Amino acid sequence: MTSTPTLAPYKAEFLQASIEGGVLKFGQFELKSKRVSPYFFNAGNFYRADLLRAISTAFAKTIIEASSPIAVTPLEFDIVFGPAYKGIALAVTTVDKLAHLEPERFGKICYSFDRKEKKDHGEGGNIVGAPLRGKRVLIVDDVVTDGTAKREAIEKIRNEGGIVVGIVVALDRMETLVAPGGQELEDKTSAIGAIRREYGIPVLAILTLDDIIWGLRQNGKEEDIRSMEEYRAKYKASY
């Protein structure tokens, strides 16, 4: 049985804020994949100031950790990119928090996001914020479901001349991909694992399913813990 012995304080604080703020819920939820999940994470619910502060802090500290000079392969980037729509607020607030926490390193970091539809007047274009051409771009978003939205974001950035250097998401569900229509695949690859292999870039997460189960063990209902462990055992990816 997989377990997480401890969590970094910022991860534990983010997990607690997600539960208390109703962002992370437990019960029965039908996913896009048609699986029935014992939990649901909705980053769109981080609309309250204290919750927005919690997620921006968690993103910033995850990025700072990954870009540390002592990391095996330090993450280096010029722009934080948020795919429309949920990613927009994440990119803007993460850049602000990075600059606040480490102004010498990140005081000049920029943000960008895309439009769903190309603007045909004014300055026009598909991108709002810093120009992407020739820049190293880090994508931030809520989760990777089947990878479609992240592939679209990568292609948009590349079409603008940007270089995607990585992706950071709020949650890694750690589960296998599902075929269109909900059929289970023999390949036990996760959506995150598929993106890593396809593009050769790191995909990081603030929290994983293992982290959530760890948090529940500290102060959760036995029924929720059992349901989460059964779900993990049934669908956990090999990566």
Domain count, the chain: 1
Within the chain, which residues score under 70 in pLDDT?
1-5, 118-124, 181-182
The CA distance from 217 to 148, in Å, is 33
The whole-number pLDDT of residue 124 equals: 56
Q: What is the mean pLDDT of the chain?
A: 92
The whole-number pLDDT of residue 120 equals: 58
Residue 77 forms part of a structural domain:
yes
The CA distance from 190 to 63, in Å, is 22
The CA distance from 7 to 121, in Å, is 48
The whole-number pLDDT of residue 119 equals: 58
The whole-number pLDDT of residue 229 equals: 96
Choosing from 121, 221, 234, 236, the catalytic residue is 121
The whole-number pLDDT of residue 219 equals: 82
Residue 1 forms part of a structural domain:
no
Burial 99-131 (b: 16+ CB within 10 A, else e): beeeeeebeebbbbbbeeeeeeeeeeebbebbe
The whole-number pLDDT of residue 4 equals: 42
Decide if 121 is catalytic: yes
Residue range(s) defining the domain that contains residue 118: 9-235
The whole-number pLDDT of residue 5 equals: 57
Choosing from 34, 100, 118, 119, the catalytic residue is 119
Decide if 100 is catalytic: no
CATH of the domain at 84: 3.40.50.2020
Residue 208 forms part of a structural domain:
yes
